[in-house]
Chains A and B, each alone.
Chain A
């Protein structure tokens, strides 16, 4: 029983940063902006979170710093693509490269220093309940944020007027503009939200997952988050499912290896990617629904006529 709980906890830890980064990017893409800089914003969040936590001794300040740094960094992307109407793909890619380099430079003095870890939730009486206690009441704070965030984004996108407006901008920015909606302002806010989420995901890496700073510590997780958004056909609950399927298969294959199952390890390592794609493609096999969910003006620059 204990091992099952341990495995479930490990899966949640592995899935959380993917989920948060992907949910943020989902909102960005729903507004019609394609930000390929998730990896770069994430690593900035990681270095900012670790740095602030290390310097002040408080992982909570680290958490706030991670969010802030991710948001500020995404502002750079917003100014370039929204105000100056640069190519979103190229700008996003350069944001990733810049983030990886800049974070390495900023983090030089943090290398080889143990940092502060965000404590797990511990509610007297509840956390001690066998099995479900640790699962429901004993995880790290960012896990709860990630679940709440997913629910909030679902509610916002599909139950609020502002959410509807955001989606309409993503489908046709010219029509939205003609209706008097401030396309650029909405997109700015969406991009900054996405940046804050990516920063938080990075903070999860350097404050919970592996409390340390090392260059490139995101190791491609930003790209997995990006892929999740597309394969989940821009639906929040599918992103959640995708992140957890990825996490579960990933942890499962490690256990399979440790158990000595005679399957080539290279195949096992690629399983999480394969399984996630297959499952998400299967649940989005309805072409009409997928088309409906795809933001039609995704990636196209918008220059309002004055």
Chain B
């Protein structure tokens, strides 16, 4: 009986909340995150973008989000729920939300959908992504300059194009400074597990790496670097507070301007499904201050950053694939489609790509 009462009260409260929400006639913009917003990494940065939208558009919008949504059938339900609750524009922020979003978008033709880091589109489904690989090239150059052992440790999550592209870009950057530079690669098969990431960092340092790079989302690897007096790079957000002596720089995702633009377009009725891939020059990828390195290394990093802003692409030939077969001719630039589907390593990567 008591339970029933509680349930009734809860339902009544939920209903009254829903009623007030509808009465206000605001545009409801919603987000779906795969991690917790408290990861201080990837999902955290997306949520910062959502807060930017609230700040910029004030009482014209109402926002909502679902966090910790796993990439699978669960995601279908998450998107459908948001669409039914009156969200007019919905952002799915992880690669694995691609098929669920396509499916739900078909069911709700009046709702605008946006999907990050994927490649499928529809009448009411646009895609957006950031060129993180631009930043990773700079990381590679810094690593090659800073490393004494000539070996970097690279902690990675899953073998999806985004991650493979990052490894390749990092290696190209490093090889541009030291042609025989090596990276030891460890797959932890998780986007987010601080303990595992810390263990991987320790293993890599024990085997002679002296710089740590990560494509996972927690600050743990950098903390290990700090403890051991070695160096590394942050991920997604500026992690300097966790590693004041160890962080060299960090690739910071800034989704705010993009989200504000899209929600504004939705408000004006000018929204159309787009396909954008934003880089350093658009401000969506930012480099945290270059710290803990000599001035000449810093100058080199800044010069490369400027070169990329001026339109140079790290994937510019000549580049050979891992087995030595030529991929890009001298001066040839990789097209976006190839990059977004990247499933091979470039020459010099010392790992077998998991299939």
Contact = CB atoms under 8 A, between A and B. Distances in A.
B203 A215 contact: no
Interface in A100-117: 104, 107-108, 111-114
Given A112-B237, A255-B206, A266-B354, A219 B196 contact: yes
B58 to A, nearest CB: 23
Interface in A1-58: 3, 6-7, 10, 13-14, 17
A259 B204 CA distance: 9
Contacts of A265: 186-187, 189, 354
Given A114-B241, A216-B192, A265-B354, A254 B38 contact: no
Range of interface residues on chain B?
A: 35 or more
B184 A214 contact: no
A180 interface: no
Nearest to B194: A210
Interface string A224-254: 0000000000000000000000000011001
A114 B234 CA distance: 14
Interface string B336-354: 0000000000000011101
Contact of A255 (B37, B203, B218, B355): B203
A217 B195 CA distance: 8
B188 interface: yes
Given A104-B36, A112-B237, A214-B39, A219 B192 contact: yes
Nearest to B195: A209
B286 to A, nearest CB: 17
Interface in B312-355: 350-352, 354-355
Given A212-B220, A260-B350, A10 B40 contact: no
A266 B38 contact: no
A277 to B, nearest CB: 18
B219 interface: yes
Interface in B19-42: 35-40
A6 B187 CA distance: 20
Nearest to B156: A265
Contacts of A3: 206-207
Contacts of B223: 114, 210-212
A11 to B, nearest CB: 9
Interface in B203-222: 203-204, 206-207, 209, 218-220
Contacts of A217: 194-195, 218
A214 B195 contact: no
A212 B203 CA distance: 20
Nearest to B151: A258
Interface of A: 3, 6-7, 10, 13-14, 17, 104, 107-108, 111-114, 205, 209-217, 219, 221, 250-251, 254-255, 257-260, 262, 264-266, 269
